[in-house]
Amino acid sequence: MTKLSSEELLRYSRQIILPDFGEKGQEKIKKAKILIVGLGGLGTFSSLLLAEIGVGYLRIVDRDIVESTNLHRTPLFSESDLDRAKVEVAADRLKILNPSITIDTHATHLGVNNIDTLLDGIDLVIDGLDNFETRRIINQACIQKKIPFIFCGVSARSGNLSVFNLRKSSPCFSCLYHNIDDDNLESCDITGIHPALLPIVTGIQIHEVLQIILKGESSLDSVLFFIDLNNMSFDKISIYKNEACTICSKTAVSDETIISDDYKPLKICGGNNFMLVPQSSVSFDIEKIKTQLVSQFQIKKAGTHSITVILPTNDLLTIFKGGNVLIRGCETVKQALETWKNLREAYIS
Ligand SMILES: [Zn+2]
């Protein structure tokens, strides 16, 4: 039911009074279903705003756990949350902030195997990512399903934003970023991220989300918006649909390379950390795994979405409900894959 209650009319009264909002606008906001991909600095600020504003349904996706290096820029996480799955902590905080909205949590890596499920029923996708491979998967699926993709990327003291796929004539993510390879980009542990940048860029991102929900338009459609805090510049440049784009100029199949092994390893930001992503549908019963591992390993943290154990090598291994496995401390990809394979075969049934 999207009709507003008297409590909701009071709660949102300071935004309902704004031009373009009104009760009808607030009802549209309540009815909206938004997917937020990634719960780093970007995704935590944007989900916080969306919950405050009263978006009725937030689906949050993240494959990772809370680490101490996140805490300088993530408003939803505290020190007591270290080693818990980010989606679990975020959902707890957002439900306290606004108990009337629905939070749908997915502690998983977004890939070609689950993108259709994650987009099911969604009106808009919010970018909280730090890599181009996942953005390309989202972009392609959003084109096929006609869902706007609110892109946002940050590095050090600068960020850029755009709204892709709003109209058929709008450019898509790949029109602009077709030739950028993640391997050639410096990660956040090299470049750093200025925490003050995040509320600025996500504030603009969520402003555009509201423009789309309330009016079906965006100032960032066919525009790339640059913010650079080094010289306090805010610039807009026009961007155009690339007629040679192999993604939006025709319906193309995914070009993601699927490896034949059970798990695809990804090196992630922050040293010798590897995320092992299942290449088929996998889910784990964390409670059951806890009972299987507790006599063999020291349990560092266990929740409903993930469990982290300390290995004899002092490496940390986290198993997520959605199938991902994070190994922290391994020297090589091969070592990470072998560690997980051996542990799984010996202890997990
Ligand atoms: Zn395109």
Ligand 1 centroid vs 336 CA: distance in angstroms?
Answer: 36
Name the CATH superfamily for 263-347.
TATA-Binding Protein (3.30.310.10)
How far does residue 128's CA lie from ligand 1's centre (Å)? 20
Alpha carbon of 85 to ligand 1 centroid (Å): 34
The pTM is what? 0.79
Average pLDDT over residues 87-98: 98
Distance in angstroms (rounded) separating the CA atoms of residues 281 and 300? 26
pLDDT score, position 86: 97
Q: Find the mean pLDDT for residues 70-92.
A: 97
- Using the predicted structure, report yes or no on whether residue 332 has a pLDDT greater than 50: yes
Between the CA of 163 and the centroid of ligand 1 the distance, in Å, is 12
Summarize pLDDT for 274-328 with one digit per residue, the tens: 888 887 778 888 999 999 998 889 999 999 889 999 988 888 999 998 888 889 8
Quick one: pLDDT at residue 270?
A: 63
Ligand 1 centroid–CA 131 distance in Å is 18
Q: How far is the centre of ligand 1, averaged over its atoms, from the C-alpha of 170 (Å)? A: 8
The fold for domain 32-238 equals: Rossmann fold (3.40.50)
Q: H helices within the chain, ranges in order?
A: 6-11, 13-16, 22-31, 41-53, 86-97, 115-119, 132-145, 173-177, 188-191, 197-215, 286-293, 333-347
Q: With 70 as the cut, is the pLDDT of residue 193 above it?
A: yes
Neighbours of 210 (CB within 10 A): 22
Where do the structural domains in the chain lie, given as residue ranges? 32-238, 263-347
Q: How far is the CA of 133 from the centre of ligand 1 (A)?
A: 15
CA 44 / ligand 1 centre spacing (Å): 28
**How far is ligand 1, taken at its centre, from the CA of residue 239, in Å?**
11
For 130, residues 6+ apart whose C-beta sits below 8 A from its C-beta are 38, 40, 187, 188, 269
Residue 119 has a CB neighbour count (10 Å cut-off) of 18
